[in-house]
Amino acid sequence: MVISNSELGAKEFLSALTGSNGTLILDFLEELDGRMPARNEAELLKKAYSEVKDPVLAFQIKKSLRLAAFKLKKTELKVSAEGLEKLLHDPQRIDDLALGINTIEAAEAFLVSDYFRQAEWHNFPAPILPNFCIFFKKYGNISDSPALQELTRHPDPTVITAALAALEKIDPENLQGIIIPLLDSPKNVVKAQAIQAFYRWNRGEALKHLVKLLFSSDEQEVILALHHATFFPFPEIESHLIRLLTMGSSASILMRITQIFKANANLDLPFKLFWVNRTLEGQHQSLVKGVLLGVVRALADKKLIDCSIQDYLDQLKDKVKAEEIKLLKETCKITHEEAEESVLPSLEDFEEKGSFAEASPKPSKSADTAKPAITAIKTPETNFENYNNLPEQEKIQQLTRVNQGFFNDNKHHFGELFAAAKGKELAALITLYGKYGKAEDSEKIKKCIKNENPDIICASIRALANLDSEFLCLYLPQFMQDKNGKIRMTATRVFVTIDRERINSLLTSMIASPNIKQRSLAVATSMLVDFNIVRQPLVDALSKETSVEIIEKLGLVLAANPDRELLSTAYKIWKNSKTSLMEEHQKAVESIAEKLAVSLNHISTPQELLKEAESAFLEEQKAANKIAEKQALEKLAQSENNEKTKKEVFEQPLEDSSIQDILTSSSSDPKTRRAKITVIIWLLVAVIWGGAMAMLFLRFILGE
């Protein structure tokens, strides 16, 4: 892929070449070697070569740099089989050998393979071994497997990953025994390559390892995981990539996710992206909009949509809105009208603009069908004079058409209207102040926050979010638990835009509340926020919940955001649940499995997904039983040792010398000295007491 001339493109190119991930660098160089490079790419190769310290990677970059230079000079580089055979025996020309391996004609590959084998290529210096591995990946056969297997124990991670990639192609059946130990390799590049190969034998476990790498706190590990994710079936990784997209990723990560999405664009993907983006905010939402637009354009390029991009986006928005209304009615138990008023407004301004990571936006295909802009009020005197005579709906329409300039020029008139307005008209005025007002305007809106009209309260919440969010935060937790669904939803969504951490804490405490009403409200409210905020609290709630109705709601929310990890966790909760609640948990698990099968584009049926979850559960139980058994044996052994020690102590004969030792041994410890003195005193007391008793006895007998 030719890089753009932009600073971002050059930076990404250089970053890819100078990183620590040998697998990424090798694949990048292999792609570059297979085409005509751009001049700026050759310059960046030269810069990277001067920066990279790893001898294997530096050697590979140098090879590609030399090859690029030959191509840019239009110099034909052709090496014969006989020429390569000579280079194999000249250690001083290892650089030329690497170029020859890269450029040998496919027609001569069979003959060259024998030369390499006779020269025992796997014993060559580490820097050139990846070139041999890439060659045998293309032209090798099962007879090359032993040499490649030997390289999987090489000390250099780049050599190991190159050997694994070749084995995966020419001898996959015998690879399992090599891969399993490498899944726990401390070298991430090796681990990632092993994960990719392991998918053949155990999809669930391979994906579990990949997901762990995908959500690492180290950006380079995430980029490495994204590289290997492209080798997995797209439906298997789609939900994880969407989740990663919503977690505030860096530009480098977003660009790579976008490339994967565009390469695998399908008609279901835009809806999924639109669905998760509706709960995001600000710059993050704008970036994901760009990713979505890139996917839609890819669909248009593939002729998979039969309308303009803008029309498609409008239809998509309506579809998302309908689905959200349906879920709100099911989870929040509200009317259709309340649900319709509460849907997220955050994507209302979605228009076709430049997409993320593209050099320049394409012109809109719907420019000729674009809706005309609504003009603002042009004659304020006439409108304000007639305003009071207008029906309420027309008043609201006029207020919604006001722009920033008109509002600033006629603020005193709006102040007069504000003092007299009521109901929906007052709500529209509050909204206007929230859009164009200043901090000092918040004082009049604060007085409306305790109004009994839900429309006025909701408008006040949205306006104060812009004008005085600190004041609003005092009331938001209370509004999130209001009996009116519209107020709850508005407060929740506004709270997310102000402070994600605080709403996370609040929802977590509500979901774990001993009050069943609070738990029910919290689960319903979780539909309105980014699922990543509430994922773990909802899973924890499912394992502890005793209310049948709330378990049903939890199942709906979790099934709306399915992935394999979630299904596995829910299955475990089901199998460990109380007998009286097993049926409800089973329904939730089956619902997640059904939605996940759809999300995976039916590459696995719900029954197959449940079978995989069952196998994982049984394996985990078996492992837990082994650990428990081991701990029990250790405890028993320790107990037996203690009993043996006690027996030795109590059965040891007491020698006379032991008393003598107490009386005569010297010690610098004051406590020891005091103990010895105490023993001596008690012995003397016993002697004196015994003598006195003997004298009394004699007097009694003799009668003296």
- Per residue in 539-587, pLDDT (tens digit) is 999 999 989 999 998 998 898 888 888 999 999 999 998 888 999 999 9
Structure tokens at 187: 């070298």
* Residues in contact with 265: Cβ distance below 8 Å, sequence separation at least 6, in sequence order: 295, 298, 299, 302, 304
What integer is the mean pLDDT of 389-400?
A: 82
User: Which stretches of 19-156 are DSSP H helices?
Assistant: 22-33, 39-51, 55-72, 81-88, 94-103, 109-118, 129-139, 145-151
Provide the pLDDT for residue 684: 60
Of the pLDDT bands very low, low, confident and very high (cuts 50, 70, 90), residue 658 is: very low
Q: Are 467 and 473 in contact (CB under 8 A)?
A: no
Q: Is the pLDDT of residue 262 over 90?
A: yes
Percent above pLDDT 70 for the chain:
81
CA 203 to chain centre: 19
More confident residue, 347 or 659: 347
- For 169-194, the DSSP string reads HH-GGG-HHHHHHHTT-SSHHHHHHH
Q: Is the pLDDT of residue 298 over 90?
A: yes
More confident residue, 81 or 355: 81
- Per residue in 491-539, pLDDT (tens digit) is 887 877 777 777 778 888 888 888 888 888 888 778 777 787 888 899 9
Of the pLDDT bands very low, low, confident and very high (cuts 50, 70, 90), residue 94 is: very high
- Per residue in 35-52, pLDDT (tens digit) is 888 888 888 889 888 888
Number of neighbours of residue 107 by Cβ within 10 angstroms: 8
Report the SS3 class of residue 426: helix
Provide the pLDDT for residue 533: 80
CA 609 to chain centre: 21
Q: Are 220 and 252 in contact (CB under 8 A)?
A: no
Distance in angstroms (rounded) separating the CA atoms of residues 18 and 49: 8
Provide the pLDDT for residue 236: 86
What's the Cα-to-Cα distance from 421 to each of 391, 392, 445, rounded to whole Å? 13, 10, 13
What integer is the mean pLDDT of 669-694?
A: 58
Provide the pLDDT for residue 114: 92
Q: Which CATH class is domain 376-560+567-591?
A: mainly alpha
Its sign, for the CA torsion 450, 451, 453, 458, is: negative
Q: Is the pLDDT of residue 65 over 50?
A: yes
Provide the pLDDT for residue 342: 59
- Per residue in 16-30, pLDDT (tens digit) is 787 767 888 888 888
Distance in angstroms (rounded) separating the CA atoms of residues 137 and 169: 6
Q: Which residue in this structure is represented by tokens 């891969």?
A: 179
What integer is the mean pLDDT of 165-194?
A: 88
Nearest to 191 by CA among 217, 169, 154, 221: 221
**DSSP state for residue 440 in the 8-state scheme:** G
Provide the pLDDT for residue 143: 93
Nearest to 599 by CA among 634, 647, 639, 567: 567
Amino acid at 293: L
Distance in angstroms (rounded) separating the CA atoms of residues 338 and 344: 12
User: Which stretches of 528-581 are DSSP H helices?
Assistant: 531-544, 548-559, 564-575
504-534 burial, b for 16+ CB within 10 Å, e for fewer?
bebbbebbeeeeeeebbbbbbbbbbbbbbbb
Provide the pLDDT for residue 692: 61
Nearest to 167 by CA among 214, 133, 200, 199: 133
Angle 551-555-560 from CA coordinates, rounded to 5°: 155
Percent above pLDDT 90 for the chain:
21
Give the domain ranges of the chain. 237-366, 376-560+567-591, 656-702
What's the Cα-to-Cα distance from 601 to each of 137, 239, 258, 267, 320, rounded to whole Å? 31, 11, 19, 11, 19
Average pLDDT, the chain: 80
**DSSP state for residue 361 in the 8-state scheme:** P
User: What phi, psi does 75 have (nearest 5°)?
Assistant: -90, 125
**DSSP state for residue 379 in the 8-state scheme:** -
Provide the pLDDT for residue 279: 76
Nearest to 104 by CA among 94, 113, 95: 113
Rg, the chain, Cα only: 38
More confident residue, 494 or 150: 150
What's the Cα-to-Cα distance from 665 to each of 327, 657, 679, 685, rounded to whole Å? 85, 11, 13, 22
Structure tokens at 158: 């780049």
More confident residue, 698 or 420: 420
Q: Is the pLDDT of residue 446 over 70?
A: yes
Provide the pLDDT for residue 366: 38
Of the pLDDT bands very low, low, confident and very high (cuts 50, 70, 90), residue 139 is: very high
Q: Which long-range contacts (CB under 8 A, 24 or more apart) does 459-462 make?
A: 459/426, 459/427, 459/428, 459/430, 459/431, 459/434, 460/430, 461/487, 461/490, 461/491, 461/494, 462/431, 462/434, 462/490, 462/494
Q: Is the pLDDT of residue 704 over 60?
A: no
- Per residue in 300-358, pLDDT (tens digit) is 999 998 888 888 998 988 888 888 777 777 766 666 666 666 565 544 455 555 444 44
Nearest to 682 by CA among 657, 659, 656: 659
Distance in angstroms (rounded) separating the CA atoms of residues 214 and 197: 17
Distance in angstroms (rounded) separating the CA atoms of residues 423 and 443: 19
Angle 125-147-101 from CA coordinates, rounded to 5°: 55
Structure tokens at 547: 């209310």
Determine whether 23 is exposed, middle or buried from the number of CB atoms within 10 Å of its CB (0-12, 13-18, 19+).
Answer: buried
Nearest to 541 by CA among 565, 507, 575, 567: 507
